[in-house]
Amino acid sequence: MTKVSHCFQSLRERCECALIPFITAGDPDLPTTAQALQ
């Protein structure tokens, strides 16, 4: 079981949920992506 699936299983057992945010690299451009990561 991966760390992520283990975490989701643990949350499911406690009737909780999770959100995994992500940033698409280069959208709309690389400088904006770099700012979002800071």
User: Is residue 1 over pLDDT 80?
Assistant: no
For 6-32, what is each residue's pLDDT tens digit?
999 999 999 999 988 899 999 999 999
Q: What is the pLDDT of residue 20?
A: 86
Cis check: omega of the bond before 28, within 30 degrees of 0: yes
Q: Which residues contact 26 (CB under 8 A, 6 or more apart)?
A: 33
SS3 content of the chain, % helix, strand, coil (to 5): 50, 0, 50
